[in-house]
Structure 1
C-alpha cells in the first residue's frame, strides 16, 4: 500500500510516515516546510510544495498512480497564534483543504484520512466526550477543524470521496526510537513549556487555575504520538471496511480514555527530573479551554486500536527527544 501524507514533514505527519514504513506501507510526503523539517523526509518520496498547488498534486498522482489513500496532516495548529491571525489560519487550514479536496477528486482518489482535533468539542459536565458529543470550538484554530469536518462531510455526501476524520486529543512524546519528534525548539503546549522551564531554570506557568476540574487546572487526554501514528495505520488498513457508499464520512476519537490535569502532568514531569521545576500560577491564555478526555469505544471497536503508552512514557520520550533534537535538526 502507498499513501500520500500532507504535512508529512511535521511532528505528527512524520511520525505517521515512520509508522507506515514500519508497517510496510510506503509514504509519499507533501510538505511546504513552513513548519515541517526536511530532515524528516530522508529516504522517503518527498515533494516540497503547497496542498493548494493543483499542478503539483497532479504530478504526484501521475508519478505515483498506485496511491491508495491520502492522510491530511497539513495545518497550522497554535491556538494563541490563531487568535492573533484568524485570516491566516482560515486560509491555511480551510481554503487550502478545500483546494486539496478538489485535487483529490480530479485525480480519482476516494480515500481521505483527516487530522482533526478534540478541541472542537463542548465537554460534558464530567469533562468526558465521545464522537456524538456537542461541538463548541472556542478558538479560530478549533473552528477551522470543525469547518473542515463539515466541508468534507458535505463533499463526501455527493462526491466520490470517503473521509475518516480522526479527532486527536493531546499528543505528547516522540517516536520511541527517536527517529522523529516535535520540530519546534520552544513548543507552546504544556509539556513543551515544562521542558523549556527546566532547560531555562525558571518556574513553569500553570495558565488557568479556576477551571471546573478536580484541582482547577485544565484537563487533557495526553496521548502518545506513536500511538496516534499506529492508529493511522489501523485506520488505513480498515478504511474500506468502515467507510462505504452508505457511510462516506466517519468520525473517530483518538485518546487514552484518561483525563490528566496540568498539575498532575507537572507532578509526573517533576518525578522524572533530578532537579524539580517550580510552578507559578498565571491567567489562562487566549483560546484556552477547560479541556476534556474521551471515551474510546469507537476506536477500539472500528479500528481495533487502543493507546499502549503511558503518560510517563510520553514525558520520558519528550525529554529524550528534547535532549537530542538540535543534533538531529539543523537550527533555522
Structure 2
C-alpha cells in the first residue's frame, strides 16, 4: 500500500511516515520545506513543492497511480503567527487545502485523512466529536473552516474524509529518526524542557482554573500513538466510511485523561529524577482551563487506543531534545 503524506517533512507528518515504513506502507511525501526538514525525508520518496500545485500533484499520481489515500498534515500551526498573519494562514490552511482536494479528486484519490486540531473546541472534559466549536485564534478558525469545507465537499463529490482531531502531541519517533524541529517551542512540555536544560524556573501560568489543583489541564498524547491512529484510519478507511454510507467523520485522538500542569511537572520529575524549579504567574491572554477528550469513537471505529504513558512521552521528548543537534545539520 502507498499513501500520500502532505507536510510529510514536519513533526507529525514525518513521524507518520516513519510508522508507515515500519508497517510496510510506502509513504509518498509532498512538502515545500518551509518549516519541514530535509533530514526527515532523506531516503524516502519525496517531492518538494506546494500542495496547491496541480501539475505537481498530477505528476505524483502519474508516478504513483496506486496511492491508496492521502494524509494531509500540511498546515501552518503557530497561534501567535496566525494572529499577526491571518491572511497567510487562511491561504495556507484553507485556500491551498481546497486546491489540494480539487487536484486529488481529478486524480481519482477519494480517501482523505485530515490532520485536524482540538483547538476548535471550547474548554471542557471528556469532549466528544459532537461538541460545539469555539476556536479562539485565527489558526484554530482556519482548522474549523477547512473542516466545514471538507464536509460540504463530501456532500457533492466522491470525496470521503476522516478528520483526526489531535489534542497535545508530545514525544518523538522511538528510533529518533524524526522529532519536533522547532527550536523554541511554545507548548508546555517544550518550554519545560528548555527551562530544565537552561537551569531556569518553569512558569505555571494560572493557578485558579476550575480544575482539581487549579492549574490548566491538557491531554498529552505520544506522537507515536498518533501515528498508529493514522495507520489504522488508512487501513480501516473503507470499513469506517464505506462508499454507500456517511462520507465525513471526525475522530478525537488523545489519551482520554487530562493532565494538569502540576501533574506534568511531577511526571517530568519522575522521568529526570530531579526537582523542576517552577514559579506561579498569571494566566496569559487567550488561555483557558484546558480540555481533554472522549476517545470512545477511536476505540470503536479505529480499534485504536494509546499505548504509551505520559512518562514515556516526556522521556522521548527529552531524548530527542538531546540528540537533535546530531540529526539536524545546521544545529
TM-score interval for Structure 1 and Structure 2 normalised by the shorter chain: over 0.9
| Displacement of 1:320 | 0.5
- Please name the residue that 2:204 is paired with: 206
Corresponding pairs, count: 330
- Please name the residue that 2:173 is paired with: 175
* Aligned-partner Cα distance in 2 for 1:251–1:24: 26
Pairwise mapping of residues 140-219 of structure 1 onto structure 2 (< 5 A)?
Answer: 140-219=138-217
Instruction: Report the secondary structure of 1:271's partner residue.
Output: helix
- Please name the residue that 1:248 is paired with: 247
Counterpart selection for 2:130 from 129, 132, 156 = 132
Instruction: State the TM-score, normalized to the length of structure 2.
Output: 0.96
Q: Which shifted more, 82-91 or 152-161?
A: 82-91
- Please name the residue that 2:114 is paired with: 114
| Partner deviation per Cα, 1:102-149 (whole Å, 9 max, x = no partner) | 11111111000000011111244xx22011112111111111111111
| Partner deviation per Cα, 1:231-250 (whole Å, 9 max, x = no partner) | 10110000011113321100
Matched-pair contact (CA < 8 Å) for 1:138–1:289: no
Instruction: Report the secondary structure of 1:272's partner residue.
Output: helix
| Displacement of 1:80 | 2.3
Q: Cα gap change, 1:188/1:172 in structure 2, threshold over 3 Å: closer, same or farther?
A: same
Q: Does 1:35 align with 2:49?
A: no
Pairwise mapping of residues 1-332 of structure 1 onto structure 2 (< 5 A)?
Answer: 1-124=1-124, 127-245=125-243, 246-331=245-330
* Aligned-partner Cα distance in 2 for 1:203–1:123: 27
| Displacement of 1:205 | 1.5
Instruction: State the TM-score, normalized to the length of structure 1.
Output: 0.96
Instruction: Report the secondary structure of 1:180's partner residue.
Output: coil
Please, what is the CA RMSD of the aligned residues?
A: 1.3
Instruction: Report the secondary structure of 1:186's partner residue.
Output: coil
* Aligned-partner Cα distance in 2 for 1:75–1:212: 32
* Aligned-partner Cα distance in 2 for 1:296–1:174: 22
Instruction: Report the secondary structure of 1:326's partner residue.
Output: helix
Q: Which shifted more, 305-314 or 261-270?
A: 261-270
Matched-pair contact (CA < 8 Å) for 2:123–2:288: no
Q: Cα gap change, 1:300/1:274 in structure 2, threshold over 3 Å: closer, same or farther?
A: closer
| Displacement of 1:319 | 0.4
Matched-pair contact (CA < 8 Å) for 2:229–2:304: yes
Matched-pair contact (CA < 8 Å) for 1:83–1:286: no
* Aligned-partner Cα distance in 1 for 2:20–2:292: 27
Q: Can you give the 5+ residue segments of structure 2 that lack an aligned partner in the other structure? A: none
| Partner deviation per Cα, 1:39-98 (whole Å, 9 max, x = no partner) | 010121101111111111111111111111000001111222222222221111111111
Instruction: Report the secondary structure of 2:178's partner residue.
Output: coil
| Displacement of 1:264 | 1.0
| Displacement of 1:12 | 0.5
* Aligned-partner Cα distance in 1 for 2:179–2:89: 23
| Displacement of 1:286 | 4.1
Matched-pair contact (CA < 8 Å) for 1:123–1:133: no
